[in-house]
Amino acid sequence: MTEREKMLAGELYDCGDAELLAQWHRAKDLIRDYNLTDSADAETKKRILSDLLGGQGENLWITAPFYVDYGNNIYFGNHCEVNMNCTFLDDNKIIIGDHALIAPNVQIYTAFHPTNAFDRFGAPKEDGSFAFCRTQTAPVVIGNDVWIGGGAVILPGVTIGNNVVIGAGSVVTKDIPDNVIAWGNPCVVRRENQ
C-alpha cells in the first residue's frame, strides 16, 4: 500500500513520502498562482482550479486567498461560493454539495496526529533531527444548501447534512444532521432550519 493509499484509508502515513511531497508542492504552486491571479481573470482562475481540484460542478467562485494541502482531494458541487482566507487541509476527501456558501476564514481539516509525542515523531535520527510528523485522516462531507459562517472550524471525520447553517466561530467536532441551525464551541444543534 502506498503512503497516499494509507492517507486516504485513514491509516498512519508518512507525510514526507516523495509522491505526497510532489503532490503537495504542485498544489502549493497552483494555489500561489491562483491567489496572485487578477481578480477579474475568470478564465485563468477556472483553469487553475481545474488543474488543482479533484472535481467541481458549475459556477464555482473562490475568493483569494485560498489555501490547500493537496487540492486534488477537494470536490465541489454546483453553485458554490468560498469567501476569502479559507484553509482546506485535504489530506483526505473534502466533499461539498450543491449551493454551499462558505464564509471568510473557514478552516476544514481532514488531518490529525497521535496525541503521544513518540507516536507522532518516533525516535530522533542519528543526526538529532526528526522525521515528518506521522498523520492520520478522516474525510469531511458537507451536504447541499449549507452555509458555514465566518471563522468556523470543521474537524476531521465530520459530516454536515443538507440545509444546515453553522454559526460563525463554531468548532464542529461531531456530525450535524439535516435541516438545522447549529453553533458554538463545540458546535451543537440549536434549532430546526425551516
Short-list 22, 20, 24, 40, CA closest to 32:
24
Paired with 170 in beta bridges are: none
Measured distance CA(105)–CA(142) in Å, rounded:
17
Tell me which of 25, 79, 99, 113 is the catalytic residue.
113
Dig out the grid coordinates for 58 from the structure.
458549475
The CA distance from 76 to 146, in Å, is 12
Do the strands 171-172 and 180-183 form a parallel or antiparallel pair, or are they unpaired? unpaired
Give catalytic status of residue 113 as yes or no: yes
Asked whether the beta carbons of 154 and 136 are under 8 A apart, the reply is no
Pairing of strands 101-102, 80-82: parallel
Q: Kindly report the CA angle at 133 between 66 and 175, in degrees rounded to 5?
A: 60
Give me the active site residues, please.
113
